[in-house]
Amino acid sequence: MLAKIGDKWSILTIMMLSDGTKRFSELQRGIDGISQRMLTLTLRGLERDGLVTREVFPTIPPRVEYTLTPLGRSLQVPVKALGEWVVKNLAELDAARRRFDAMGEGSD
């Protein structure tokens, strides 16, 4: 469960839905780099786990909206904190990766 909730796309999707109900296209525009297929798989997984609800409206074309469930909303605080931590420390994380990569493999 931690691997699923902690993956990049799930965290970003939960963060986007923290602002309220969103349509698929809004989520895709708001999550930089996510493909349509990956967003579909992420939403299905979150829905399966009871974190997101999917509502289809009988319009042409059909309108589909996604909302966090109460269980999903209970993840907002830890997910937001994790996201803020990453943003705050991104430069340091990138620098550490560059230093590590510069050392090359097998230099321990």
pTM: 0.78
- Total structural domains in the chain? 1
Domain containing 55 — which CATH number?
1.10.10.10
Q: List pLDDT tens digits, range 43-76.
A: 999 999 999 999 999 999 889 999 999 999 999 8
Query: CA 79 from chain center: how many Å?
Result: 9
Q: Token pair for residue 30?
A: 């708001």
Give me the domain span that covers residue 48.
2-103
Does the residue 108 lie in any domain?
Answer: no
Judged against a pLDDT cut of 70, whether residue 108 lies above it is answered with no
Q: What is the pLDDT of residues 16-25, one digit of tens each?
A: 999 999 999 9
Work out the angle at residue 25's Cα, subtended by the Cα atoms of residues 30 and 17, and round it to the nearest 5 degrees. 55
Q: Considering only 25-29, 74-78, 79-83, 89-93, which range has the smallest mean pLDDT? A: 79-83
Measuring CA to CA, how many Å separate 91 from each of 6, 81, 97? 21, 17, 10
- Is there a domain that residue 45 lies in? yes
* Contact criterion met (CB below 8 Å) for 61 and 24: no
**66 — phi, psi (to 5°)?**
-120, 140
